[in-house]
Amino acid sequence: METRMSLHELAVGQRAIVEALHMTGGMRRRLLDIGLVEQTTVECVGKAPSGDPLAFCIRGAVIALRSEDCRRIEVRRL
């Protein structure tokens, strides 16, 4: 059973596969450049106490993303 959600909804330690990026412009280009493309596996490795930013392991690198941007990334939980 597939569970689709935004990247923001992943709990620390959960993994997911990127299904779509619902954004345009420079931020989309930056995410694509760091390897956050469709079918990429991501893992939530941490959240700030305030909930923003969130840290994700993407292709072996830990990347911090703002909650606003995470809400525009659709994933399928593993």
The CATH code of the domain that includes 16 is: 2.30.30.90
- State the pTM of this model: 0.87
Q: Which domain holds residue 20?
A: 3-77
pLDDT in tens, 30-71: 999 989 999 999 999 999 888 789 999 999 999 999 999 999
Nearest to 22 by CA among 3, 42, 41, 7: 7
If one counts the domains in the chain, the total is: 1
Handedness of CA 14, 19, 25, 28 (dihedral sign): positive
Name the pLDDT band for 16 (thresholds 50, 70, 90): very high
Return the structure tokens found at 40: 């990429």
Mean pLDDT for 17-38 is 93
